[in-house]
């Protein structure tokens, strides 16, 4: 199975809110429209991790209208939303945060998703911003219902760890497994298969095929990760082939026998 996971989301919601009096559908927003076309073509299931507040601090999820709730619910079979962080900066905001801090921010985001989109858009999986949180933070997310927590789990290299509270040996174990449960905390960790905005379009297929000859082999569950901001021309690191990269990755998954599915449909039954 596979899914598309998108981090750092807030701008598309800010746009819909700003145009709430003219948009007759959430899919008039260009970003969400692109995701819907992807689903229509490949049936891809898409998970969106949300900030509560925009970078310019002029918008929060509390400002988003509930007038589109029925449309959100009609698309819940392929679209999910979850907590990511209060806002984009500072980096790794929960690395040393308390249980109560993470609980508060997580609750803010989840409450607003329920209000404007309904419970059907929620699920038991998320990715915390930067994938860095201490054990108290992971416990707070688990208490909120997020028993699946996704990261990179880098180790023995110069890349950011993006590994929650896991120690070096646990991260090495994750590198072999893709999916691993910390039974003492009742938390399932999932390793992202490929970060698309860090990979050139022409390198996506070779990166995925390299798994076949690696010790871990092909992922049992492919999680493609990309970040929202690379879609926008005014972003400093704008990637004009944003959706082309996603389609290249999804086509590889389809060609190799992977079917679209949310994580909870596979590992929490």
pLDDT of residue 269: 63
What's the mean pLDDT in 236-246?
Answer: 98
- The DSSP H or E segment spanning 15 is helix 11-18
Rounded alpha-carbon distances, angstroms, from residue 61 to 100, 115, 117: 20, 10, 11
Beta bridge partner(s), residue 80 = 47
- Binning pLDDT at 50, 70 and 90, where does residue 216 land? confident
pLDDT at 257 exceeding the cut of 90: yes
Coil, helix or strand at residue 2: strand
Looking at 63-77, 114-128, 206-220, which range is the least confident one?
Answer: 206-220
Confidence category of residue 215, pLDDT binned at 50, 70, 90: confident
Calpha distance 212→256 (Å, rounded): 11
pTM value?
Answer: 0.96
């Amino acid at each position: 199975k596979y899914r598309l996971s998108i981090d750092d989301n807030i701008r598309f919601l800010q746009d819909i809110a700003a145009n709430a009096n003219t948009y007759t559908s959430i899919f008039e927003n260009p970003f969400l429209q692109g995701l819907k076309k992807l689903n229509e073509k490949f049936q891809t299931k898409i998970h969106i991790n949300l900030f509560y507040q925009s970078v310019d601090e002029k918008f929060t999820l509390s400002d988003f209208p509930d007038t589109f709730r029925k449309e959100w619910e009609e698309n819940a079979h392929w679209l999910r939303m979850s907590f990511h962080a209060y806002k984009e900066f500072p980096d790794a905001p929960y690395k040393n945060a308390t249980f109560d801090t993470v609980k508060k921010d997580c609750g803010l985001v989840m409450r607003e998703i329920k209000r404007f989109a309904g419970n059907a858009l929620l699920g038991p999986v998320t990715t915390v911003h930067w994938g860095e949180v201490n054990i108290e933070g992971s416990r707070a997310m688990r208490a909120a219902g997020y028993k699946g927590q996704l990261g990179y789990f880098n180790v023995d290299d110069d890349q950011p760890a993006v590994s929650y509270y896991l120690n070096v040996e646990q991260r090495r174990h994750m590198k072999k497994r893709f999916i691993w449960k910390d039974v003492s905390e009742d938390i399932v960790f999932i390793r992202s298969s490929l970060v698309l905005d860090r990979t050139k379009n022409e390198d996506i297929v070779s990166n995925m095929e390299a798994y076949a000859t690696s010790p871990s082999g092909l992922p049992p569950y492919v999680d493609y990760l990309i970040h929202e901001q690379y879609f926008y021309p005014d972003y400093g690191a704008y990637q004009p082939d944003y959706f082309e990269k996603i389609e290249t990755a999804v086509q590889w998954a389809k060609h190799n026998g992977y079917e679209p599915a949310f994580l909870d449909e596979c590992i929490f039954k």
